[in-house]
Amino acid sequence: MGGEGANSGTVTGGHFDVFLSFRGPDTRDTFTDCLYEFMNQKGIRIFRDEEALGQGKNILEILEAVKCSQIYIIIFSQGYASSRWCLRELTCIMECNCQSIEKDILPIFYNVEPSDVKLETELYTSALNKHEEELGCTEVKPWKEALTKVATIKGWCLKGQRHGKVMADITEKVLQKITIRKRYLPTYLVGIDDHVEAIKKLLSCDTGGVRFVIIYGIGGIGKTTLAEKVFNQLSPQFEGHSFLSNIRESSSCCGIVKMQRKLVADLFGFSLHETIDRKEGTNTIKEILPNKRVLLVLDDMDENEQFMNLAMNSYSYGPGSRIVITTRDFPMTNVDGLEENILTRPPQILLYEMKEMHFDHALLLFNKHAFNTDLAPCDLYDLSRQVVELTGGLPLALKVIGSHLRTISKAKWKTTLTKLKEVPHEKVQQRLKISYDALGCEEQQIFLDIACFFVNKKKINAMYMWEACSFYPEVEIDVLIRKSLIRIDYDRIWMHNQLRDLGREIVRQENIKNLGDRSRLWFLEMSQAKKGTKNVVALAPRRSRHNFTREDFANLKNARFLKLYGGNFAGICEDILPELRWLCWRNCPSQLQANNFVLNQLVVLKLSGNITIEEWSGWVEIMVASKLKVLKIAGSKSLIKTPCFSEFVSLERLVLKDFLTLAEIDPSIGELQRLNYLKIKWCPHLKELPKEIGCLTALKELILIQGHNVRYLPDSIGNIRGLSRLVIEDTGLIELPETIKGLVDLKHLCLVNCTYLNSLSDALGELKSLTELDLSGTTLGNLPCLIWNLEDLTLRMNSFGIRTQLRGDFPMQGRSIRHLPDSISNVRGLPRLSMEHTGLVEFLETINGLGFLESLPLLNCTSLNSLSDAIGELRRSTELYLSGTVIGELPPSIWNLEDLTLWISSRKELQPGEKISEILQSEKSSQIYIPIFSINYASSRWWLRELKSMVESYSQSPGKQILPVYWEYSSIRRRTCWMLEE
């Protein structure tokens, strides 16, 4: 605001949505007053003098109010330019607008024309001339520049216009801007900044094209909050922006048309006709979307149709448009019609999974909600950590449970925590159950199975059971993954703790009083499980020495899953458990006491106990079930030989584990023509695999772990041409047979900790399909030359668990490696060559094909004391890590690599690197320069260039100092440490 005789003082009230700049005598009691009331009634926070300033205030504090405002409404009246206050305000407004893209200017021309403000007429020109006569040109010049610049901004001309209509338009425009830009965020935001930066990097707003970023994750994980913060930061950069909230719920209760109407209003400032339907809305959006750069957030989408109706016409968005989608479903890249409707400008569709919070962040967020502090009281510290562990890092649960505990006494915390372990908090459960309710019947059954029995269990075995139950698990599991209800990590099923508890609570709610009527029973006494009804489909009683009889399971006609801990079956067991598909029996007896114990529908059998060959017959009756697909036997201390496998006609997966005395695998194993997975682990007395292994033509994976006496593999192994994964880990293997070259489909070969293996045959170079070779823990000094022909190979040769790719990052680690093979210089396209912790004594004299090398880590190569001048030929190199080496001087050619980042430090931990091209710039911002003059200082063109820059900066600024140090010998390490620390 500006006016004659303006008041002075301090600005109160904090930040403002709108700052009104006007000349008081012209419009204070007329147009400005009406506009103020119009906006004030809509809840808009406005600054004007008498509302925010008292007596004795000054212009400096009015200018502070300018800086604290988001939108500037400037009312240019005929006397505006005659007010110095107004002109100072205007200049400050223009400066703030230039400094922040988040601020807007809305000019109003009240009885004047834009040409007057542009100083093209006498109206404002004469007023400025008077100011120049009194104040001089220097002070008035910025005022003239501000006027001519602001006049180019589109605004409202009031001549011939109805003031009420203009005020309504202005108010609507302001509301759109402050509503769109300001998404109100939760009071406590913890650990979100890294997510924000990751999304901004994916959006890459400074590039062209149309880009979609899909943020997915379970309900309550913080997807919407993340999208809101990103929207708040980025929306000012776009010509149009819209945030459509809670689309799933909004579209179900009031239709997609309302969302279309809001989208059009946000982006284009007009309303769709009230009678328009969904199809017409879609067509209208398609027709009116101009080449406009927009930011669109579609929050909580769960249907492809919603996406198609709101955002499918991505080709109509202008270059640089960005669409952010939050969803519980993953992925949404298969939206029907999306690819076909992109025309010649296909968008990039990028995915971002919102995962649970890191424990430390989760604890901080919980403490803020529970105690309003960062730290819990000492007497509640342990309980707080237990609650956070219980929530699994889910922000929604942390907020709800923290806020709840804040309202109760400390004495009730333990009781509440115990209850939460049994029953999820109602508000959290309601949010999560939305996704469960959207599942089909089979999907719900699989979800409940996982929640009750299969969390962190291998997926493949459960899939056999579900498939046998006609659940179509390939499809249903995919649905659960897309809805973020589960995740598959290394073939194991992961489910968030809160979702697991939700599933178990759903089962509990099936019948709270009568446990036997529930579909799934676990950790019950057998006497309770015996009361189960036909509703029971899965059960896992407590550990027991009970002798189970046919009567114990008489009511469980539909049970398909049974997990036992001890006990035995006794008596006549004919027709017992007719639908059983899965039997897992830990601590099973060596001999079955039951008669006619046949499980015809069994597909998965997992036994662990001290089974002996003499007592094997009872178990074989179960194992030879015609449908058995998975057999795992473990834990026998006295089994010497496996049973005959001739009758295991359907077996596809076989695991033999922890047999301390097993010395022989029956040759009949070669008759398992459907076997595709064989794992033998911790059988220390096993000396060899039978040659009949070569008959397993369907075998895809062969795993032998901790077979310390196995020295050789049978030559017949080369006959398994379809084998794709071979793991020989921690064995006494001395060499691989030449016949291994017959494994034409082999992709993964693991020889970890085979410490007797001291060489590899050139036959490995003939395995054209090989993409992973793990030699960690071996004592190999050299690799066969032909291995370099495998261009897509991923090689692992260290004990640090770092897996890298030959074409992406080739590591060679081990103190025995002192020289690089000359052949490595022919590996074209290699961007990263890791030689960390090796005994390397010299680098290659020629690099040949290594011209694409970007990163060269030579960390802790303590025998490396020099680099060849060939390093200067690595024109693409951007990173060179030399920490822990004994290099005293770098070759002159290295300074030709202007984009190189050097990492040189004598400390155990690396210090941040710095680009050579950026060092000169950092010198200019430094106050003190310490050049260290060593014997060889003048031999370096780079150091001399650096010194020249220091002296120039020193001469230009009297506040800078140069403190030279005269060193008696060259120490590249000391110089670089100083350079990095500066």
Residues identified as active-site: 89
**Tokens 């020193």 belong to which residue?**
954
d(CA 123, CA 112): 9
Report, in angstroms and rounded to the nearest whole number, the Rg of the chain calculated over CA atoms: 37
The alpha carbon dihedral of 39, 45, 48, 54 has a sign of positive
Phi, psi of 626 (to 5 degrees): -60, -20
d(CA 835, CA 818): 10
Strand 487-489 relative to strand 492-494, pairing: antiparallel
- Residue 211 tokens, joined: 């880009």
Task: Render the burial of 725-750: b for 16+ CB within 10 Å, e for the rest.
Answer: bbbbbbbebebbbebbbbbeebbbbb
Task: Give 329: exposed, middle or buried? Use CB within 10 Å, 0-12, 13-18, 19+.
Answer: buried
Nearest to 1 by CA among 70, 80, 56: 80
Whole-number Cα distances in Å, 755 to 547, 589, 703, 713: 47, 38, 17, 16
d(CA 276, CA 953): 68
SS3 496: coil
- The DSSP output letter for 512 is S
- Residue 608 tokens, joined: 């662990």
Nearest to 20 by CA among 58, 50, 54, 60: 50
d(CA 109, CA 937): 67
The identity of residue 136, as a single letter, is G
d(CA 146, CA 80): 13
SS3 907: coil
Q: Is residue 394 within 8 Å of 358, Cβ to Cβ?
A: no
Long-range contacts of 155-163 (CB under 8 A, 24+ apart): 155/106, 155/107, 155/108, 155/109, 155/114, 156/106, 156/107, 156/108, 156/109, 157/109, 157/113, 157/114, 158/31, 158/108, 158/109, 158/110, 158/111, 159/109, 159/111, 159/113, 163/31, 163/34
Strand partners, 75: 108
Q: Which helix (H) or strand (E) holds 728?
A: strand 725-729
Q: Is residue 649 within 8 Å of 626, Cβ to Cβ?
A: yes
d(CA 254, CA 378): 50
Q: How many helices (DSSP H) and strands (DSSP E) are in the chain? A: 29, 38
Residue spans of alpha helices (H) in 12-83: 24-27, 31-40, 49-52, 59-67
Whole-number Cα distances in Å, 934 to 95, 866, 886, 968: 50, 18, 17, 6
Task: Give 304: exposed, middle or buried? Use CB within 10 Å, 0-12, 13-18, 19+.
Answer: middle
Q: Mind giving me the DSSP string for 769-835?
A: T--EEE-TT-------GGGGG-TT-EEE-SSS-----TTT-EE---TT--S--GGGGG-TT--BEE-
CB atoms within 10 A of CB 549: 16
